[in-house]
């Protein structure tokens, strides 16, 4: 029968539409409006019957009502508690017979049933209107709207007709909100306001709920709104979500709202917490009723009333099929034996299994930072987040395709060894010498193995290089989106939205998101670790930190210190110890054999890195030192105003807490984010040797704290100066961040992409050729840009440090096990690295119109070299600091100098 309902719906609607047109021509306005309401009634009734989950019919079903009334316990002490009344009455003491006493009991039972009469749950009424007539003769006669309301006495509110005459001559029915406003104005009721009370608006409703005024808000909503009013549905959802997130269901126990709340939880499949609570309190019958209600609701009211599973079997079936906390629920059910009650030993066992779930430090119970309800926090996701995620994916993939490699360490220490593992040739640095072994081949295998497999399908090395960068981008994209989703759920939708905006547009993410660097992968693991921590998955966070520290960069373990401290403070030190030991053992069981195989001896690469950088004689300072301002300038260039917001978010959060603008703000909720960011700054700012890539792992925390700062100052400014100033501040901040970030990104891809474009133009043939570089050795983009017949060589330049040398031409593993000659760790110049200029077939150089003994202007010697391809390249020393940092095309062409970055071929 249900299959014919859509056809009946279409047929009836069409017939009533034609009937309405006939009435429009022949009957006065009252009959037209009545007919329209009749049509809407039919259409609404049929749409209910064709719906997937019919909320109204389900809620009023006798089986559902019976279960809801059964779940709503009658507590006389609460139901008939002291209340404020209009007139003081004397207490009455009566001497009753047993008959009279039974009558009194029956009276109060009947009164209890009336007090517990549940408000209906209806589908929100539509705001649609219908045009009844249009008179062009009175168009523009007046600029005001005329509202007509039926004032006939004795009519119910829903039966009163309201129509609106528009200035263009159109006569239409009033919308739901217009009709309600007119009725409230003409037929006022006590406690019912014409305008929407502030208690039902944000942020006042959150403040009322934070003071546990849930029942007050719901009672007033019943007076203010009709059951099908969209505002009534919205308020109920907000209250029910808040009660569930804070586990305050008993605040509505023995009230008329407890049944609708339970029905709402079943409808949205979020009954796990309530079910666990009922079982912990030995209310097995109520737990079974709850699961029966859940099954009945999601069978759309047509389920077999006689359940296939009864009692504990019903609970076990739910735990196996529908529960989101299956392990915890099954552990709980195993402890329930027949009529045995759960005693104190049960809580001791569960504490040992999952202490964080039952201790006072329970993140879900503490509530979110700004938005209490996870469902409300995610209500905006389908629209806004998807758009921002598309921007994030687009820019991150664009970085993989367009962003030039800015760090020679990425090329020579990672891309070149990967090229060697895939194609058999590449440049080797002293870090990969078996004598020192401070780099890990296990890290490279995650890229070289897929690349080796794909090299058989793709002949272009450059295409394979791009695919690997896209693969890295995909991992960082997934980690950023995961962290943002968890922030939306646990902190605030606004904070998560700002985090995605910062990660999408920020130049720091553009540079780090596609880089083959341990610090870039550590950045992604940091996002995953803190996302797991915010989701109460501390063991997953420990594994992510272990992967970040062992597989990527051992100093990234510093970001795991706040999570470890939190676990210790919560009494989870055993859990911390077990998962730290397990994750370290598992990763080392993979890492040590791989590195030992390639180096030919027992190697623990993370340990070697720490020994060299912390306890080594020369250490990293041999490769240059920078002042403290280096990191400050770098953070400003990559994050501009977001960096400032991150710095000043802490005092803003403390001020917000001091002014008590929101009782839900709990600094303990976010202190690991600030602690990790602060620890990283304190440690690395004090090191003499500074590199831009050293800041990559902390970028997610920088963006997260900046996003919290944005929401914090939004609330402060709104309180102090009003909403208009707050909106102006948000617009200026976002616009400034967007302009500076986009300008920086365009500047890098336009003015500094010369090397990647030039190396693509090197000719390909079958004769072995030598490509030479002098002062531009550090801008070499990797051997993936070189044809198979071309090999890289170095010319003597003003640089006086140690340069890489090619891997030996031996099969694996001999190629990586042999100790290379003329290689050391003290950065001394090795003359064996250089070749003579006459031996070069191609030459890549930057023409600056300045020459020295070892860096002549090769392009000027046109008798020896001819230019194959050149591209303008911005000269940093001939441009002001601000113009060389951001893309300002007109000013840069006027005030900056450009050189030619070119590839030259020898004239034979």
Nearest to 701 by CA among 665, 722, 675, 724: 675
Q: What does the pLDDT look like over 598-614, one tens digit per residue? A: 999 999 999 999 999 88
The predicted pLDDT at position 52 comes to 55
> Could you tell me if 625 and 690 are in contact, meaning their C-beta atoms sit under 8 angstroms apart?
yes
Q: What does the pLDDT look like over 199-229, one tens digit per residue? A: 888 888 888 888 888 888 998 888 888 888 8
The predicted pLDDT at position 844 comes to 95
Residue 857 C-beta-side C-alpha neighbours within 13 Å: 11
> Could you tell me if 311 and 288 are in contact, meaning their C-beta atoms sit under 8 angstroms apart?
yes
Out of 304-318, 698-712, 741-755, which region has the weakest mean confidence (pLDDT)? 304-318
The predicted pLDDT at position 667 comes to 65
pLDDT band at 494 (very low <50, low <70, confident <90, very high): confident
Tokens (6 digits) for 579: 């998962």
The predicted pLDDT at position 321 comes to 78
| Strongest mean pLDDT among 74-78, 151-155, 528-532 | 528-532
The predicted pLDDT at position 355 comes to 40
With both helix axes pointing from N to C terminus, report the angle between 671-685 and 629-639 in degrees, rounded to the nearest 10: 130
Gap between the Cα atoms of 187 and 613, Å rounded: 80
Gap between the Cα atoms of 434 and 417, Å rounded: 14
Nearest to 499 by CA among 369, 405, 406: 369
Nearest to 770 by CA among 798, 794, 799, 790: 790
Gap between the Cα atoms of 449 and 189, Å rounded: 75
> Could you tell me if 785 and 903 are in contact, meaning their C-beta atoms sit under 8 angstroms apart?
no
pLDDT band at 37 (very low <50, low <70, confident <90, very high): very low
Q: What does the pLDDT look like over 503-514, one tens digit per residue? A: 999 999 999 999
Asked if residue 164 has pLDDT above 60, the reply is yes
Residue 635 exposed, middle or buried by CB count within 10 Å (0-12, 13-18, 19+): buried
> Could you tell me if 164 and 178 are in contact, meaning their C-beta atoms sit under 8 angstroms apart?
yes
Out of 92-96, 473-477, 584-588, 626-630, which region has the weakest mean confidence (pLDDT)? 92-96
Asked if residue 360 has pLDDT above 60, the reply is no
Better-predicted residue by pLDDT, 770 or 283: 770
241 in helix, strand or coil? helix
354 φ/ψ sector (left φ>0, alpha ψ -120 to 50, else beta): beta
Gap between the Cα atoms of 847 and 19, Å rounded: 84
The predicted pLDDT at position 339 comes to 45
Gap between the Cα atoms of 697 and 691, Å rounded: 12
Asked if residue 821 has pLDDT above 80, the reply is yes
The predicted pLDDT at position 631 comes to 94
The predicted pLDDT at position 658 comes to 67
Out of 128-137, 339-348, 664-673, which region has the weakest mean confidence (pLDDT)? 339-348
pLDDT band at 86 (very low <50, low <70, confident <90, very high): low
Gap between the Cα atoms of 883 and 885, Å rounded: 5
885-893 mean pLDDT: 89
The predicted pLDDT at position 592 comes to 95
Q: What percent of the chain has pLDDT over 90?
A: 39
Nearest to 662 by CA among 819, 545, 417, 494: 494
> Could you tell me if 209 and 238 are in contact, meaning their C-beta atoms sit under 8 angstroms apart?
yes
Q: What does the pLDDT look like over 523-558, one tens digit per residue? A: 999 999 999 999 889 999 999 999 999 999 999 999
> Could you tell me if 425 and 783 are in contact, meaning their C-beta atoms sit under 8 angstroms apart?
yes
The predicted pLDDT at position 349 comes to 42
Q: What is the mean pLDDT of the chain?
A: 82
> Could you tell me if 503 and 484 are in contact, meaning their C-beta atoms sit under 8 angstroms apart?
yes
67-83 mean pLDDT: 76
| Strongest mean pLDDT among 356-370, 488-502, 891-905 | 891-905
Better-predicted residue by pLDDT, 551 or 371: 551
Asked if residue 155 has pLDDT above 70, the reply is yes
The predicted pLDDT at position 171 comes to 86
Q: What does the pLDDT look like over 222-272, one tens digit per residue? A: 888 888 888 888 898 999 999 988 888 888 888 888 889 989 888 888 888
Asked if residue 151 has pLDDT above 90, the reply is no
Asked if residue 9 has pLDDT above 60, the reply is no
Gap between the Cα atoms of 316 and 310, Å rounded: 10
| Strongest mean pLDDT among 108-117, 118-127, 287-296, 399-408 | 399-408
Nearest to 860 by CA among 871, 847, 872: 847
The predicted pLDDT at position 100 comes to 83
Count Cβ neighbours within 10 Å for each residue of 247-276 and write b for 16 or more, e otherwise: eebebbebbbbbbbbbbbbbbeebbbbbbb
The residue whose two tokens read 């994030």 is 392
Sheet of 146-149: strands edge to edge? Answer: 131-134, 170-173, 162-165, 146-149
Gap between the Cα atoms of 371 and 241, Å rounded: 10
pLDDT band at 850 (very low <50, low <70, confident <90, very high): confident
Q: What does the pLDDT look like over 394-420, one tens digit per residue? A: 889 999 999 999 999 999 999 999 999
Count Cβ neighbours within 10 Å for each residue of 501-535 and write b for 16 or more, e otherwise: bbbbbbbbbbbbbbbbbbbbbbbbbbbbbbbbbbb
The predicted pLDDT at position 413 comes to 95
Asked if residue 373 has pLDDT above 60, the reply is no
pLDDT band at 780 (very low <50, low <70, confident <90, very high): very high
The predicted pLDDT at position 606 comes to 93
Asked if residue 447 has pLDDT above 80, the reply is yes
> Could you tell me if 613 and 620 are in contact, meaning their C-beta atoms sit under 8 angstroms apart?
yes
Nearest to 327 by CA among 490, 489, 539: 539
């Amino acid at each position: 029968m249900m299959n014919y309902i859509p056809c009946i719906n279409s047929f009836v609607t069409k017939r009533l539409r034609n009937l309405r047109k006939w009435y429009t021509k022949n009957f006065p306005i009252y009959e037209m409006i009545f007919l329209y309401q009749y049509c809407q009634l039919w259409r609404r009734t049929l749409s209910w019957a064709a719906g997937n989950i019919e909320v109204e019919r389900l809620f009023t079903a006798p089986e559902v009502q019976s279960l809801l009334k059964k779940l709503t316990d009658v507590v006389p002490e609460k139901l008939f508690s002291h209340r404020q009344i209009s007139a003081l009455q004397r207490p009455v003491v009566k001497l009753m017979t047993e008959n009279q006493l039974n009558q009194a009991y029956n009276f109060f039972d009947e009164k209890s049933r009336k007090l517990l009469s549940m408000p209906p749950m209806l589908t929100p009424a539509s705001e649609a209107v219908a045009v009844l007539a249009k008179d062009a003769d009175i168009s523009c006669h007046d600029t005001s709207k005329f509202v007509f309301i039926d004032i006939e006495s004795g009519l119910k509110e829903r039966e009163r007709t309201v129509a609106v005459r528009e200035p263009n001559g159109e006569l239409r029915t009033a919308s739901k909100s217009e009709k309600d406003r007119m009725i409230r104005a003409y037929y006022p009721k006590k406690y019912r306001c014409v305008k929407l009370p502030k208690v039902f608006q944000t942020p006042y409703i959150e403040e009322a709920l934070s003071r546990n005024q849930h029942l007050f808000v719901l009672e007033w909503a019943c007076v203010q709104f009709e059951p099908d009013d969209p505002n009534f549905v919205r308020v109920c959802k907000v209250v029910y979500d808040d009660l569930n997130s804070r586990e305050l269901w008993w605040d509505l126990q023995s009230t008329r709202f407890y049944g609708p709340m339970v029905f709402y939880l079943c409808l949205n499949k979020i009954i796990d917490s309530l079910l666990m609570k009922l079982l912990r309190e030995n209310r097995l019958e109520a737990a079974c009723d709850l699961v029966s209600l859940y099954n009945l609701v999601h069978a759309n009211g047509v389920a077999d009333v006689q359940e296939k599973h009864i009692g504990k079997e019903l609970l076990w079936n739910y735990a196996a099929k529908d529960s989101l906390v299956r392990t915890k629920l099954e552990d709980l059910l195993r402890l329930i034996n027949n009529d045995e009650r759960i005693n104190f030993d049960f809580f001791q066992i569960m504490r040992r299994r999952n202490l964080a779930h039952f201790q006072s430090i329970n993140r879900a119970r503490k509530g979110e930072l700004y938005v209490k309800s996870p469902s409300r926090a995610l209500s905006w996701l389908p629209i806004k987040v998807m758009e921002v995620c598309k921007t994030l994916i687009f820019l991150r993939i664009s970085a993989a395709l367009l962003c030039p490699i800015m760090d020679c360490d990425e090329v020579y220490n990672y891309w070149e060894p990967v090229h060697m593992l895939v194609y058999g040739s590449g440049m080797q640095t002293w870090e990969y010498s078996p004598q020192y072994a401070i780099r890990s081949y296990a890290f490279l295998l995650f890229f070289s193995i897929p690349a080796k497999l794909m090299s058989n399908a793709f002949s272009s090395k450059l295409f394979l290089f791009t695919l690997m960068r896209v693969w890295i981008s995909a991992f960082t994209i997934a980690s950023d989106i995961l962290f943002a989703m968890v922030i939306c759920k646990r902190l605030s939708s606004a904070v998560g939205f700002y985090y995605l905006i910062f990660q999408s547009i920020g130049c720091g993410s553009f540079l780090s998101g596609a880089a083959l660097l341990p610090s870039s992968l550590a950045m992604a693991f940091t996002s995953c670790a803190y996302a797991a921590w915010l989701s109460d998955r501390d063991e997953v966070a420990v594994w992510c930190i272990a992967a970040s520290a062992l597989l990527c960069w051992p100093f990234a373990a510093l970001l795991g210190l706040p999570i470890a401290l939190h676990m210790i403070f919560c009494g989870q030190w055993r859990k911390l110890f077990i998962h730290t030991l397990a994750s370290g053992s598992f990763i080392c069981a993979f890492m040590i054999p791989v590195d030992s195989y390639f180096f030919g001896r027992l190697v623990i690469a993370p340990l070697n890195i720490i020994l060299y950088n912390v306890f080594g004689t020369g250490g990293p300072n041999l490769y240059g030192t920078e002042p403290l301002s280096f990191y400050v300038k770098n953070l400003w260039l990559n994050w501009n105003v977001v960096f400032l917001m991150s710095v000043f978010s802490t005092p803003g959060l403390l001020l917000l807490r001091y002014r008590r603008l929101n009782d839900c703000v709990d600094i303990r909720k976010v202190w690991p984010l600030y602690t990790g960011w602060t620890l990283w700054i304190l440690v690395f700012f004090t090191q003499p040797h500074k590199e831009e890539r050293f800041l990559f792992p902390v970028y997610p925390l920088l963006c997260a704290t900046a996003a919290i700062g944005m929401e914090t100052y939004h609330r402060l400014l709104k309180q102090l100066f009003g909403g208009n100033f707050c909106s102006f501040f948000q617009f200026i901040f976002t616009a400034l961040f967007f302009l500076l970030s986009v300008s920086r990104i365009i500047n890098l891809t336009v003015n500094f992409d010369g090397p990647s474009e030039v190396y693509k133009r090197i000719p390909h043939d079958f004769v072995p050729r030598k490509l030479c570089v002098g002062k531009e050795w550090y801008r070499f983009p990797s051997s993936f840009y070189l044809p198979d017949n071309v090999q890289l060589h170095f010319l003597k330049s003003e640089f006086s440090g140690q340069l890489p040398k090619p891997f030996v031409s031996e099969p694996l593993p001999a190629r990586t096990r042999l100790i290379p000659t003329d290689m050391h760790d003290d950065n001394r110049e090795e003359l064996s690295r250089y070749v003579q200029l006459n031996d070069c077939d191609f030459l890549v150089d930057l023409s600056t119109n300045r020459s020295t003994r070892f860096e002549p202007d090769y392009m000027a010697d046109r008798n020896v070299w001819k230019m194959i391809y050149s591209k303008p390249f911005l000269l940093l020393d001939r441009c002001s600091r601000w113009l060389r940092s951001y893309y300002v095309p007109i000013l840069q062409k006027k005030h900056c100098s450009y050189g030619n970055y070119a590839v030259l071929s020898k004239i034979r």
